[in-house]
Amino acid sequence: MERIRIIWKKSSIGYADDQKRTIRALGLKRLNHYVEHESSPSILGMVEKVKHLVDIEKVS
């Protein structure tokens, strides 16, 4: 499968608790931190929920 890099770019302060939990569930710990995941439907759904807080890059 293809891998994606998810970078936390915007603070989750002021957003709903479920979005904060989604950021943590992706494995992000602090701003500008990044994690790499397989591009699975569950991960893509989580990213879609917090797309306004993160950046996504394809990893080759």
Q: What is the DSSP string of 14-25?
A: TS-HHHHHHHHH
What is the spatial distance between Cα 25 and Cα 46, in angstroms, rounded to a whole number? 9
**Residue 27 pLDDT class (50, 70, 90 cuts):** very high
pLDDT tens per residue across span 32-42: 999 999 999 99
**Structural element, H or E, at residue 6:** strand 3-8
**Residue 13 pLDDT class (50, 70, 90 cuts):** very high
pLDDT given at position 55:
98
Q: Mean of the pLDDT values across residues 12-32?
A: 97
Tell whether pTM > 0.85.
Answer: yes
What is the spatial distance between Cα 53 and Cα 19, in angstroms, rounded to a whole number? 9
Domains belonging to the chain, first-starting first, are 3-59 (3.30.1390.20)
pLDDT given at position 35:
98
